[in-house]
Amino acid sequence: MPHFDRDLFNNFIVENRVVGFFDKPITLKSGRKSNWYVNWRTVSGDAFLIDRLADFLIDFIRDSNLEPDAFYGVPEGASKLGIIATYKWAKHSPGFGPGSHALPMGRGKPKEHGAAYDRFFLTAPRGRIVVVEDVTTTGQSLLAALDQLKEAHVEVLAAVGLTNRMERRDDGASVEEAVKKLGVRYMEMSRATEFLPAAFREFRPGEEIGREIEREFAEYGLEPITLVDRERSHQ
């Protein structure tokens, strides 16, 4: 049975340009400015690549000894991945047949009225769920989804981030700590501090961009990062 290979997954991120750099900083959804990005949209829009991504996710879950009934993608960034991973997982599960597995999908914008399962979901989750988010910075979208699932009395086994940007929230907590307060285990399949150096070497955005990112991690990061080779830059 295949096992999750973190190095291979980090290579997948760089090779498919999920990570990239900006000459001028942009404002993230969190409100912070950054000279680098992680965007899974190209992968999720490609049938071959999202199939491969679903395999990575399933291998990660198996290695974590979790046995969910379905995956639930946080709307809207991970919705497609949640559906495809659920289908692939269910198809090879014992007892697969009519009515055995739901294909849960959340609403991008909840309805104002009705029961929780109708307000929050196009198809409500059923059974034990692994929640999937594409990128976690402060975790606001993930936390909102977990609140909705709790209100709908859905059993959440764990929350998985495809990529953790490795930043502290404004309250000083990590995403993992914020999720844990809700009684949910958080796990990441990749960390920015692991693949950013390789991406920096591959795409060569320049020393000034590297220094800006290093300053960004010094201010917001859970740990520092080194991108610029100081000795070489002074030669």
DSSP label at residue 37: E
Tens digit of pLDDT for each residue in 118-163?
999 999 999 999 999 999 999 999 999 999 999 999 999 999 999 9
Residue-by-residue DSSP string for 176-224: HHHHHTTT--EEES-BHHHHHHHHHHHH---HHHHHHHHHHHHHHBSS-
Closest by alpha carbon to 192, among 88, 60, 40, 38? 38
What CA–CA distance (Å, rounded) separates 214 from 222? 12
3-class secondary structure for 47-94?
HHHHHHHHHHHHHHHHHCCCCCCEEEECCCCCHHHHHHHHHHHHHCCC
Domain positions in the chain: 6-204
- How does 100-110 read in b/e, with b if 16+ C-beta sit within 10 Å? ebbbbbbeeeb
State the average pLDDT over residues 22-48: 92
State the average pLDDT over residues 25-46: 91
Q: Assess whether pLDDT exceeds 90 at residue 30.
A: no
pLDDT at 209: 96
Q: Assess whether pLDDT exceeds 60 at residue 235.
A: no
Q: Assess whether pLDDT exceeds 70 at residue 24.
A: yes
- H-helix or E-strand containing 143? helix 140-151
Report CA Rg, the chain: 19
Tens digit of pLDDT for each residue in 135-146?
999 999 999 999
CB atoms within 10 A of CB 3: 8
6-204 CATH, one of 3.40.50.720, 3.40.50.300, 3.40.190.10, 3.40.50.2020: 3.40.50.2020
Least confident of 33-37, 89-93, 129-133, 229-233: 229-233
Q: Which residues 6+ apart lie within 8 Å of 100 measured at CB? A: 90, 93
Phi-psi region of 99 (alpha: psi -120 to 50; beta: other; left: phi over 0): left
Q: What percent of the chain has pLDDT over 70?
A: 97
